[in-house]
Amino acid sequence: MLKYALLGFLKYRSLTGYDLKRIMDTSTTNFWHADLSQIYKTLKTLEAEAAITATVEQQTERPDKKIYTITDKGLADLAQWLATPLTETTPLKEILLLKLFFSGDSSSTHLLTQLRLQRELHQQQLAQYQQQTLADMAENIALMGADANDVLLWDATRRAGILYEEMYVRWLDETIERIAAQFQEGAS
């Protein structure tokens, strides 16, 4: 999947692995993230598949740059991925829910502390999404040469983040209340 994310960015312009990491961290990281070493590894694979080509730019005061450019094959691979409809939903993996599921023997104070901490984290994430304006996206828009459609879709992903975090905080509030009211302290 990361493969297609990298191709997606490289379609706009040629970039280094380091660039790609920086751009992902300011755009897709809330629904798709990757580690630098993983990006380098995936770029190598893509190069082997002839989906991208590399050119080295010599630098004197910094390490040399390896700039990757998407090939026709890369463009075709990306187009094919985008054209294939998703016939399933992405399954969730939520550590908090897993933990909660097995916490029947925990004390309610311990549970409430954990849930309140998570509430704070999600609240912060929500605030961050809400503060992100078009101005904050301007840098990426300029760098990538994004058009109106791109901005519409990028904003839709930000909107998804807002709704997700709002939902999460609401669920935590509800769950905190229920545990505070009904949880029985164990005799075990």
Partner DNA sequence: AGTTACATGTAAAACGTTACATGATTGT
Partner DNA sequence: ACAATCATGTAACGTTTTACATGTAACT
Does the footprint of DNA cover residue 61 (CB under 7 A)?
yes
Tokens coding 66: 């390896």
Q: Which partner in a copy of itself, DNA, none is near 55 (CB below 5 to 8 A by kind)? A: none
Q: Which partner in DNA, a copy of itself, none is near 180 (CB below 5 to 8 A by kind)? A: none
Shortest spacing between CB 44 and a copy of itself, in angstroms: 21
Contacts of residue 73, Cβ cutoff 8 Å, sequence gap at least 6: 49, 50, 51
Shortest spacing between CB 31 and DNA, in angstroms: 12
Interface mask toward DNA for 4-33; x: CB under 7 A: ------------xxxx--x----------x
* Sequence letter at residue 142: A
* Number of Cβ within a 10 Å radius of residue 175: 17
Question: Quick check: 62 and 12 in contact, CB under 8 A?
Answer: no
Distance CA 126, CA 30 (A): 11
Which residues, numbered 63-102, are part of the site for DNA (CB under 7 A)? Answer: 63-67, 91, 93
Q: Which partner in a copy of itself, DNA, none is near 36 (CB below 5 to 8 A by kind)? A: DNA
Tokens coding 163: 């709704």
Does the footprint of a copy of itself cover residue 118 (CB under 8 A)?
yes
Of 44, 73, 116, 178, the one binding DNA (CB under 7 A) is: 44
In this complex, which beta carbon is closest to DNA, that of residue 38 or of residue 80?
38
Q: Which long-range contacts (CB under 8 A, 24 or more apart) does 66-72 make?
A: 66/16, 66/17, 67/14, 67/15, 67/16, 68/10, 68/14, 68/15, 68/16, 68/17, 68/43, 69/10, 69/14, 70/7, 70/10, 70/11, 70/14
Of 1, 83, 156, 181, the one binding DNA (CB under 7 A) is: 1
| Binding footprint of DNA on the chain (CB under 7 A) | 1-3, 16-19, 22, 33-38, 40-41, 43-45, 59, 61-67, 91, 93
